[in-house]
Each structure stands twice: as structure tokens, then as C-alpha cells.
Amino acid sequence: MSTIFERIIDGEAPATIVYQDDLVTAFKDINPIAPVHILIVPNKAIPSVQEVEAEDEAMLGRMFTVARKIAEEQGLAERGYRLIVNCGDEGGQEVYHLHMHLLGGKSLGPMLDRKFRL
């Protein structure tokens, strides 16, 4: 079953696309939790990290180089930013099309709230 992200990649659903090439698409999150909140997704419909294969390594690397490029464009290179990939139910994944969150534009604090610690 296709996800909303596939429809965004194919131009069939609206989104503010900030980057697209043969391997990945990046667009603004519809419900941002930071001044900069961009999702970087593979054009290929891979549900989660659990389904990535060795043949996907070029695409996975592209996700990082595109994250760096967008971070620079957004003025985050010096300030810093956070990349998050949620996986599965307990990982908090909501959309089952692999994606990397690029977050920045404010101090993001510790990686996880203390209430999530052991």
C-alpha cells in the first residue's frame, strides 16, 4: 500500500519540496517541531531501516550528503542540527516510508528527554 510520501515524491500530493534527484526527495514536514524540519526520503518505497539492503547503500549515503547540503542552505552548518531516523513502533515511526528528519534552527537540547531514559 502506498504512503503519502510516495504521492509527494510523484508530485501527486502537495508538499514544499526543497530538493529532488534520482535517489532522494526532501520536503518540509507538515507539522514541524523546530524552525527547520525537513524530511529526506528515498524515492524508492522502502518501509523502514529494517528493510534496507546492501543495494540501497548509494541511496543511504545520498540521504546524508543531501542532509549536509540542505543544512548549509538553511544556515545550520555552523549552528548544528540533528538527524533522526525512527524505526518501527517503539522507535516512534508513523509513516512507513523510510525517512530522515533534519531538525535545526534552535537549541535542541539533549538527545532524549530524561523520562525516556532507563
Give the residue nearest to ligand 5GP (CB).
30
Q: Which residue has the cell 542552505?
A: 73
Instruction: Name the site residues for ligand 5GP (rule: CB under 6 A).
Output: 4, 15, 27-31, 39, 86, 92-95
Give the residue from 81, 77, 91, 95 showing the smallest Cα distance to 41.
95
Q: Nearer Cβ to ligand 5GP, position 54 or 112?
A: 112
Q: Nearer Cβ to ligand 5GP, position 14 or 54?
A: 14
Asked about 99 being catalytic, the answer comes back as yes
d(CA 97, CA 46) in angstroms, rounded, equals 6
Catalytic amino acids? 99
